[in-house]
Amino acid sequence: MSTTEALVWYVAVPAVVLVLIALAVYAPSWIRSPKYRPGLSWWAEPAWLGGGDLAEVERATPVDEGGGCSARW
């Protein structure tokens, strides 16, 4: 094996493998949309994740009885 072949097999091939692994790790974060960072203003539209209609939530009346997350049954 010549010196050039040894450099290709022991230096260049592992370097290419490391670059491919680094791309596989970092590429998804480059492609995704920006994330919210604390201290910055929020730019996204509000979303209701509870299911149903938001009007139902606005019409709901609070309950002062036991139960719920207060753990008073």
Residue whose pair of structure tokens reads 């919210």 in the numeric block: 36
pTM over 0.75: no
> Which pLDDT does position 70 carry in this prediction?
59
Q: What DSSP state is assigned to residue 11?
A: I
Cα–Cα distance measured from residue 10 to residue 17, given in angstroms and rounded to the nearest whole number: 11
Mean pLDDT by 10 residues, the chain (73 residues): 91 96 91 76 72 73 66 56
For residue 2 the two structure tokens come to 């010549």
DSSP annotation string for 24-58: HHHHHHHHSPPPP-TTSPP-SPP---SSS-HHHHH
For residue 11 the two structure tokens come to 């230096």
> Which pLDDT does position 12 carry in this prediction?
95
